[in-house]
Structure 1
Amino acid sequence: MGKMLMIMGILLLVVGFVMHFIGKLPGDIVVKKGNTTFYFPIVTSIVISIILSLIFYVFSRFR
């Protein structure tokens, strides 16, 4: 359990670092009208979902 938490912490650190410097991916929806900005990170959500699915698949194989 401790090893899994350390690995997930490292992965979160890497993802946070990448997202900080990349910002948004192409395909994310940004609508600016006047004082209002709407941001919907659809591509970012899909990429994170795929990465998390792969991580959980790998952990379930070693269980």
Structure 2
Amino acid sequence: MIRWVLVIFLAVIVFSSALPWLEKLGIGRLPGDVRFRLFGKTFSLPFASTILISTVVFLLARFL
């Protein structure tokens, strides 16, 4: 259980840093993604995008 929490946490960090490039593809603006402004900075937590990309990677790994 702790391993999955750590993997999801790391995926959120990676996708948050890659979000400007992924937004051009439409990822990062899904209904489950959270954005908020704090002290003039915009923070993004792409939960739905992380789940979507993880599912796609899982399915690719499963069928390859």
- TM-score (structure 2 length as normaliser): 0.55
Unaligned runs of 5+ in 2: 1-21
* Bigger RCO of structures 1 and 2 (CA < 8 A, at least 6 apart): 2
Structure whose residues are more often helix by fraction: 1
Unaligned runs of 5+ in 1: 1-17
Distance in structure 2 (CA, Å) of the matches to 1:58 and 1:21: 24
Supply the AA of the counterpart residue of 2:50.
S
Aligned length: 42
- Aligned residue runs from structure 1 range 49-60, under 5 A: 49-59=54-64
List per-residue Cα deviations over 1:24-45 (Å, max 9, x = no partner).
1111000113412110100000
- TM-score (structure 1 length as normaliser): 0.56
> What's the Cα RMSD here?
1.9
